[in-house]
């Protein structure tokens, strides 16, 4: 029997309806106010909420609760505590206090903190983010929280995200006030992240150490069929996968995640899931939950989900399209062109803020998505390129050009485009963007940032987007608030911004080599790898920017920089070790045995029938030559790795891994992949690309 979505949606969420039903009227109203205004909760209200939350959770089968938070490792963390306690008479009771709701103290001293917490104050505390609802997962009441040290430094991804949302709220409100929108009390950024992933059969996965340890294949020759037929894209979904998706959707709906679309992607075995957008902190929580559930539910169906950015060489990688916009508490999307000249002017100003931010902060946008995994997509002949540019579509680009050049928008009109006096021509949303190669595209009423990697938290890129755009809005507000004549100042500001920052606008093909040349001429940054990009984080101007908007202080920037560089090093270290291990323990012995078999067969055939044995002899020669090459490459990788391990400075280490370890890894992979194509199928020690990609 088909369960109706509306019956199950949000059943495991302590949402507004549940609160209204279970809390006293004044408690509910007080909590609502706190949530809307982002104020902190008083203990009386917290106690009442905690009690209602506990009763509700217990009724839904929960026995434990946890402060659910997002440490800098990218995954989510939880430490479970039981509701169980005893009263004065030693009788078992279930308890959960307001204090426990609003503040937790996980002994989480081993999370990476980039030197922020000295060992004597090893504990941090977690604090409830009441704007994100509590939910039940695996019988545990999860309370979404932020994680800080006692000195107030953020130790997670949620805290700076909330700070960046506050920053953009403040500046956007100043702009709206200038346009006379006094009734708007709150501006929130909205995000809809589209999640890509691969599914492989669990029985094949389990035979590959590279997938188990690193999430991607470190060896593997291309299968005879790849993605060239494009027959997977939007193709019919296989029944086993469909069952997994139904199950996944249902579980996500119960958790209040608005997943809406699902389809196959271009690459074989690749899929995508998109939610309906929500407020950024909630979208971030939900995306973390989505990634966790994709993996958990896949296992139930005998599948393994790969969230890695590049699980297979020669096959499209996976990203996470971060659809971003701004919306008011009165329900207006600030990136949606309006119907009146006044609304259009406001839209154009917000649009210009995004364009200027993208141009001035290419470095921050790029580094917000920089990871070892994502380096395989960005700057490696795959969508999108590592160069930041903005796609506007021909029509909008043409309008901006008309404004810039003080001329009419189309030939039929006589008057020049004047901000605040002209209505923008309507452009049908669907024609705005089918350009999939742009890293940052305006898609009618939002921007789609396509660079984030599939396994990353979207907190990082949204912290940057919110902060850099807040800074431009601040600059605009500073100018306009002082202007004697608003209209002419606005026109000049928009025109000036277009003139100064039009180099970032690019509507062409971002995969094209000629774009790399053109971008260079325009003076745009091309930061191909993670160690190229990350050092921009600690530039004085960037530290000042984050300080100005109270998103990060200087120590937080430095600690995060250190953590991200170290993460890059750690990932490559594990990958290189895994390659050496697979070569030594699996590939080399298997191929050696195979060449022995060939030699034996050859000798026997000669002895018995004096045959020529061309196949055996030629193959033996080729295989032996490659085997020696692979052996030498293994030795070399091992040596380089030992040198890398000895480097203490994390910056030096990151560059060493990029310049020495990665090339040594490729040098080992090449002969091994060739060996795979030359040896018999039953000899190869682990499942091939064919099985992984087409084996479900
Ligand atoms: P596609 O990228 O395939 O064209 P859509 O444009 O329909 O798909 O939507 C992509 C994503 O953008 C969805 O997750 C959707 O919820 C999200 N989205 C739509 N409007 C907004 C908005 N105002 N703010 C943030 N995300 C949005
Ligand atoms: Mg998209």
Q: Which residues contact 322 (CB under 8 A, 6 or more apart)?
A: 191, 193, 448, 449, 450, 452, 458, 461, 462, 465
CA of 321 to the centre of ligand 2 (A): 6
User: Of all atoms in ligand 1, which is nearest to the CA of residue 443?
Assistant: 6
With a cut of 70, say whether residue 364 has pLDDT above it.
yes
pTM score, two decimals?
0.94
What ligand is nearest to the CA atom of residue 327? 1
Answer for the pair 76, 126: CB distance below 8 angstroms, yes or no: no
277 and 391 part of one domain: yes
- Among 277, 282, 431, the mutation site with the greatest number of ligand 1 atoms within 8 A of its Cβ is 277
User: Of all atoms in ligand 1, which is nearest to the CA of residue 191?
Assistant: 25
CA of 159 to the centre of ligand 2 (A): 27
Ligand 1 binding pocket includes 432 (Cβ within 6 Å): no
Q: Higher-confidence residue: 108 or 249?
A: 249
Strand 303-306 to 103-104 pairing: unpaired
CA of 231 to the centre of ligand 1 (A): 25
The label of the residue with tokens 């996965």 reads: 205
Select from 155, 173, 199 the last residue of a domain: 155
What's the pLDDT at 38? 65
Closest residue by Cα to residue 351 from 366, 334, 331, 364? 334
536 and 634 part of one domain: no
Of 68-72, 149-153, 493-497, least confident by mean pLDDT is 149-153
Closest residue by Cα to residue 44 from 56, 34, 57, 36? 34
CA atoms of 294 and 249, how far apart (whole Å): 9
Average pLDDT over residues 592-603: 97
With a cut of 90, say whether residue 421 has pLDDT above it.
no
Q: Which CATH number characterizes residue 69's domain?
A: 3.10.20.70
Closest residue by Cα to residue 161 from 280, 333, 69? 280
619 and 686 part of one domain: yes
SS (H, E, C) 226-295: CCCCCCCCCCCCCHHHHHHHHHHHHHHHHCCCCEEEEEECCCCCEEEEEECCEEHHHHHHHHHHHHHHHH
What's the pLDDT at 338? 85
CA of 193 to the centre of ligand 1 (A): 8
410 and 519 part of one domain: yes
What's the pLDDT at 83? 87
CA atoms of 335 and 443, how far apart (whole Å): 10
Answer for the pair 278, 191: CB distance below 8 angstroms, yes or no: yes
In a domain, 560, yes or no: no
Closest residue by Cα to residue 238 from 282, 189, 199? 199
CA atoms of 429 and 214, how far apart (whole Å): 40
Select from 552, 587, 605 the last residue of a domain: 552
CA of 256 to the centre of ligand 1 (A): 18
Q: Which CATH number characterizes residue 373's domain?
A: 3.30.590.10
What's the pLDDT at 287? 96
pLDDT, tens digit, for every residue of 543-561?
999 999 999 999 999 999 9
User: Of all atoms in ligand 1, which is nearest to the CA of residue 275?
Assistant: 14
Of 103-117, 313-327, 337-351, 436-450, least confident by mean pLDDT is 103-117
Share of the chain above pLDDT 70, in %: 92
What's the pLDDT at 674? 97
pLDDT, tens digit, for every residue of 281-299?
999 999 999 999 999 999 9
Which protein residue's CA is at the shortest distance from atom 14 of ligand 1? 192
The complex scores an ipTM of 0.94
Backbone angles phi, psi at 136, to 5 degrees: -110, 125
CA atoms of 549 and 470, how far apart (whole Å): 8
With a cut of 90, say whether residue 407 has pLDDT above it.
no
Count structural domains, the chain. 3
pLDDT confidence bin for 110, thresholds 50/70/90: low
611 and 678 part of one domain: yes
* Alpha-helical runs (H) found in 529-587: 530-533, 540-548, 554-582
Ligand 1 binding pocket includes 274 (Cβ within 6 Å): yes
Domain that holds residue 125: 5-155
Tokens in use for 195?
A: 């999640």
- For 23, the enclosing helix (H) or strand (E) is none
With a cut of 60, say whether residue 1 has pLDDT above it.
no
CA of 193 to the centre of ligand 2 (A): 8
User: Of all atoms in ligand 1, which is nearest to the CA of residue 325?
Assistant: 24
User: Of all atoms in ligand 1, which is nearest to the CA of residue 193?
Assistant: 14
What's the pLDDT at 89? 85
pLDDT confidence bin for 453, thresholds 50/70/90: very high
Ligand 1 binding pocket includes 186 (Cβ within 6 Å): no
pLDDT confidence bin for 394, thresholds 50/70/90: confident
The label of the residue with tokens 């604090």 reads: 127
What's the pLDDT at 469? 98
Q: Higher-confidence residue: 409 or 207?
A: 207
Select from 513, 528, 552 the last residue of a domain: 552
CA of 33 to the centre of ligand 1 (A): 29
CA atoms of 103 and 150, how far apart (whole Å): 12
User: Of all atoms in ligand 1, which is nearest to the CA of residue 274?
Assistant: 14
Average pLDDT over residues 147-163: 87
544 and 599 part of one domain: no
With a cut of 50, say whether residue 119 has pLDDT above it.
no
CA atoms of 502 and 692, how far apart (whole Å): 45
Tokens in use for 581?
A: 């291990």
The label of the residue with tokens 């005893």 reads: 86
Average pLDDT over residues 62-78: 85
179 and 151 part of one domain: no
Neighbours of 414 (CB within 10 A): 6
Ligand 1 binding pocket includes 323 (Cβ within 6 Å): yes
498 and 606 part of one domain: no
pLDDT confidence bin for 123, thresholds 50/70/90: low
What's the pLDDT at 130? 84
128 and 268 part of one domain: no
Ligand 1 binding pocket includes 192 (Cβ within 6 Å): yes
pLDDT confidence bin for 120, thresholds 50/70/90: very low
313 and 430 part of one domain: yes
CA of 444 to the centre of ligand 1 (A): 10
In a domain, 621, yes or no: yes
Ligand 1 binding pocket includes 325 (Cβ within 6 Å): yes
Tokens in use for 567?
A: 């993460």
Q: Which CATH number characterizes residue 671's domain?
A: 1.20.120.1560
Ligand 1 binding pocket includes 435 (Cβ within 6 Å): no
Tokens in use for 51?
A: 């009690």
What ligand is nearest to the CA atom of residue 336? 1
pLDDT confidence bin for 238, thresholds 50/70/90: confident
- For 101, the enclosing helix (H) or strand (E) is helix 98-102
Give exposure, 124-144, as e/b (b: 16+ Cβ within 10 Å): bbbbbbbbbbbbbbeebbbbb
Answer for the pair 682, 590: CB distance below 8 angstroms, yes or no: no
| Residue 173 Cα to chain centre, angstroms | 28
438 and 572 part of one domain: no
Coil, helix or strand at residue 200: strand
CA atoms of 308 and 208, how far apart (whole Å): 15
The C-alpha R_g of the chain, in whole angstroms, comes to 28
Question: For the purposes of burial, counting CB atoms within 10 Å of the CB of 222, is it exposed (0-12), middle (13-18) or buried (19 or more)?
Answer: middle
With a cut of 70, say whether residue 459 has pLDDT above it.
yes
User: Of all atoms in ligand 1, which is nearest to the CA of residue 258?
Assistant: 16
The label of the residue with tokens 């006044």 reads: 342
- Among 446, 452, 458, 466, the mutation site with the greatest number of ligand 1 atoms within 8 A of its Cβ is 446
What ligand is nearest to the CA atom of residue 274? 1
CA of 53 to the centre of ligand 1 (A): 33
With a cut of 90, say whether residue 327 has pLDDT above it.
yes
Count how many Cα atoms sit within 13 Å of the Cα of residue 194 in the half-sphere of its side chain. 17
């Amino acid at each position: 029997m088909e369960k109706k979505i509306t019956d199950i949606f949000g059943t495991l969420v302590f949402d507004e309806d549940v609160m209204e039903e279970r809390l006293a009227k004044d408690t509910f109203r007080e909590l609502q106010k706190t949530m809307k205004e982002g104020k902190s909760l008083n203990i009386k209200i917290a106690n009442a909420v905690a009690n209602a939350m506990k009763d509700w959770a217990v009724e839904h089968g929960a026995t434990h609760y946890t402060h659910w938070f997002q440490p800098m490792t990218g995954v989510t963390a939880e430490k479970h505590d039981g509701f169980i306690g005893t009263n004065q008479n030693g009788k078992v009771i279930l308890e959960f206090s307001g204090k426990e709701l609003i503040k937790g103290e996980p002994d989480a001293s081993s999370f990476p903190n980039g030197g922020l917490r000295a060992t004597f104050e090893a504990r941090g505390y977690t604090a409830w983010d009441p704007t994100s609802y509590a939910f039940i997962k695996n019988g545990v009441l999860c309370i979404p929280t932020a994680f800080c040290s006692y000195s107030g430094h953020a130790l997670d991804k949620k805290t700076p995200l909330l700070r960046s949302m506050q920053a953009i709220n403040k500046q956007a409100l100043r702009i709206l006030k200038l346009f006379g929108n006094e009734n708007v009390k709150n501006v929130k950024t909205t995000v809809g992240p589209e999640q890509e992933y691969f599914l492989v059969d669990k029985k094949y996965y389990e035979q590959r150490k590279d997938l188990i340890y690193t999430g991607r294949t470190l060896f593997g020759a291309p299968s005879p069929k790849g993605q060239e037929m494009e027959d997977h894209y939007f193709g019919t979904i296989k029944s086993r996968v469909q069952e997994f998706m139904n199950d996944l959707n249902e579980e996500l709906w119960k958790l209040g995640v608005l997943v809406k679309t699902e389809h196959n992607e271009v690459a074989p075995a690749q899929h995508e899931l998109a939610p309906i957008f929500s407020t950024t902190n909630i979208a971030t929580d939900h995306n973390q939950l989505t990634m966790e559930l994709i993996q958990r539910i896949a296992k139930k169906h005998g599948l393994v989900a790969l969230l890695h950015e590049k699980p297979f060489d020669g096959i499209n990688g996976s990203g996470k399209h971060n659809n971003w916009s701004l919306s008011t508490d009165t329900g207006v999307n600030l990136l949606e062109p309006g119907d009146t000249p006044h609304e259009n002017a406001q839209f154009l100003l917000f649009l210009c803020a995004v364009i200027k931010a993208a141009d001035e902060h290419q470095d921050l946008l790029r580094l917000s998505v920089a990871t070892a995994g994502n380096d395989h997509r960005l700057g490696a002949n795959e969508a999108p390129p590592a160069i930041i540019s903005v796609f506007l579509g021909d029509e909008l680009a043409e309008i901006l050009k008309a404004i810039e050049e003080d001329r009419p928008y189309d030939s039929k009109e006589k008057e020049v485009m004047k901000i605040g006096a002209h209505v923008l021509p309507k452009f049908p949303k669907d024609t705005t963007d089918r350009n999939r190669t742009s890293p940052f595209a305006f898609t009618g009423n939002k921007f789609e940032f396509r660079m984030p990697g599939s396994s990353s938290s979207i907190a990082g890129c949204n912290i940057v987007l919110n902060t850099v755009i807040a800074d431009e809005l601040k600059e605009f507000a500073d100018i306009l608030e002082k202007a004697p004549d608003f209209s002419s100042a606005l026109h000049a500001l928009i025109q000036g911004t277009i003139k100064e920052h039009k180099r970032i606008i690019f509507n062409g093909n971002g995969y094209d080599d000629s774009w790399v040349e053109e971008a260079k001429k325009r003076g745009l940054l091309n930061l191909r790898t993670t160690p190229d990009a990350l050092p921009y984080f600690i530039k004085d101007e960037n530290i000042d920017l984050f300080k100005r908007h109270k998103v990060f202080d200087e120590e937080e920037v430095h600690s995060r920089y250190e953590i991200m560089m170290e993460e890059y090093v750690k990932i490559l270290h594990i990958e290189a070790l895994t390659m050496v291990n697979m070569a030594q323990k699996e590939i080399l012995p298997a191929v050696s045995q195979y060449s022995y078999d060939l030699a034996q067969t050859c000798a026997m055939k000669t002895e018995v029938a004096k045959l020529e044995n061309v196949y055996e002899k030629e193959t033996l020669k080729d295989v032996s030559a490659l085997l020696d090459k692979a052996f030498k490459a293994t030795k070399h990788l091992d040596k380089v790795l030992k040198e890398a391990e000895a480097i203490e400075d994390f910056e030096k280490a990151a560059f060493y891994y990029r310049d020495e370890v990665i090339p040594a890894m490729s040098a080992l992979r090449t002969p091994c992949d060739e060996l795979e194509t030359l040896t018999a199928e039953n000899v190869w020690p682990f499942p091939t690309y064919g099985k992984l990609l087409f084996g479900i």
